[in-house]
Amino acid sequence: MITFFVLSMMLIIEYLNVLTKGLWSKNLKSSPAKQIFLAAILGLIPGCLGAYTAVSLYVHNIISTGALVAAMIATSGDEAFFMFSVIPKTAVIIHIALFIVAIAAGFIVNAFIKKKVTDSPQKHFDIHDDEADCICFDRSVLWPQLRNISKARLFSALITIIAMSFIAFDLFHHDHQASSLLSGLLYKNHEHPVWISITFLIVLGTSLFIILTVGDHFIHEHVINHIIKKHFIRIFLWTFFTLILIFALDQFIDLESIISNNLYIVLIIAVLVGIVPESGPHLLFIILFASGNLPFSILLANSIVQDGHGSLPLIAETRRGFILVKLINVLVAFIIGITGLLLGI
C-alpha cells in the first residue's frame, strides 16, 4: 500500500509538471530573493523534478548558488512521498522546517558567495522539455481511447483499482489490534487515523482519473517507462527489506535504548548517509522515527542533507558545485541536529 501511494503521488506530480510546462522559465536574474524563494518551493515538490529544475536553472545562470543550496535543503527526493504516506503529520512539520531553514541558508550563502561555482556553466540537459505529443485531457479522443484501451493503460488502471479496493476494505473493516508487520512496527507509537485511508483513496482515485484520461504518450513515457520501470521495484524492495530489517532488529535488540544512548553518533551516521545521491537508504531513518526509535531532530538533519536523485544532474554538470552544496548542507544539518538534540527534540 505504501508503494502504491508513493507511485500515485509521483504520477500526480508528473501530471502537474506536464500541465504547467514552461511555468519556471521566466527570468529571475534580477531578484536574488525571488530566486531563493522559488528554489525552496521547487525543492518542496515531492520527488526529484523540482530539484532537477533548480539544477537546470543554476546551470543556465538563472539562479544563484544560495538559491541552489535552498533547493537542495528543501528537497527530500522520493522520500517525501514515503514520509507523507507513513508519517503525514510529521512530514508536514518537516517540510515547513526545511522551507524555513532553506530560505535562511540561501540568504546567508548569497551574502558570502557572489559567484556561481560551476565547472562548465554552458552545459545543458533536457528535463521534460519535449512534451508536444503529451495531451493530458482531450475529450475528442477520450471515448475512442477507452474503447480501444491499450494493455499498458488497462494494466495500470486495474492495479490502481485493486489497490483502492484493498484500502476501502481496510477502511470498513479496520482493526487497530491487527498484528501485521506494518501495524506492529509503524504504528507502535503512532496512531493510524481513518483520514489517512481516506487520503490514500483520494490520491489513488486521482491517479485512476489521470490514467484513464491522459494520452498514450503520457502512459508510455511517464507511467510505464518512468514511474513503473524506474521507481516501482526500487521503492518496493527498499520499503520491504527496510521494514523487515527494522522488525528483526526490534525483536532482538533494544533499538530505542541503543539510539538514545548514542544520539550524536546516530546523528553523524544520518548526516553522512544523507550525502548519498540515491533514494532508498534514507527510508531507514523514516521508519526508525515512525517506530518511535529516532528523535525528530535526527530525521530533520538527514532530510536537510539528503536530496534523493535531485543532485545527480548537478554531479554531471559541476562536481565542484555538488561538493560545495553538500558541504554547506552538512554544516547546516549538524547545526540543526545538534541544536535539536540539546533542546531534547
Q: What is the DSSP string of 168-222?
A: HHHHHT--TT---HHHHHHTSSS---HHHHHHHHHHHHHHHHHHHHS-HHHIIII
pTM over 0.85: no
Binned average pLDDT, 10 residues per bin, the chain of 345 residues: 76 76 56 89 83 79 88 88 86 94 95 67 44 58 79 89 84 53 49 67 89 84 82 78 74 74 89 80 84 90 86 77 91 95 91
Q: Which domain holds residue 196?
A: 139-245
Domain membership of residue 232 (yes or no) is: yes
Q: Which three cell numbers stand for residue 127?
A: 528535463
Domain membership of residue 177 (yes or no) is: yes
Q: Which residue matches cell numbers 538527514?
A: 302
Domain membership of residue 148 (yes or no) is: yes
Can you tell me the distance from the alpha carbon of 275 to that of 330, in angstroms, rounded to the nearest whole number? 8
Number of domains comprising the chain: 1
Q: Kindly tell me the number of DSSP H helices and DSSP E strands found in the chain.
A: 18, 0
Residue 114: other Cβ atoms inside 10 A: 10
- Local structure of residue 132 (DSSP, 8 states): T
The Cβ-side half-sphere exposure at 224, using a 13 Å CA radius, reads: 16
What one-letter code names the amino acid at 149?
A: I
Domain membership of residue 196 (yes or no) is: yes
* SS3 label, residue 21: coil
DSSP 241-276: HHHHHHHHHHHHS-HHHHHHHSHHHHHHHHHHHHTS
Domain membership of residue 185 (yes or no) is: yes
19: enclosing H helix or E strand: helix 2-19
Can you tell me the distance from the alpha carbon of 97 to that of 57, in angstroms, rounded to the nearest whole number? 24
* SS3 label, residue 31: coil
Domain membership of residue 250 (yes or no) is: no
pLDDT of residue 48: 75
Domain membership of residue 160 (yes or no) is: yes
What phi and psi values does residue 82 have, to the nearest 5 degrees? Answer: -65, -45
pLDDT of residue 121: 46
Can you tell me the distance from the alpha carbon of 45 to that of 59, in angstroms, rounded to the nearest whole number? 20
Domain membership of residue 265 (yes or no) is: no
pLDDT of residue 312: 75
Count, residues in the chain: 345
Residue 128 in contact with residue 21, Cβ under 8 Å? Answer: yes
Q: Considering Cα of 4, then 178, then 202, then 79, what sign does the dihedral take?
A: negative
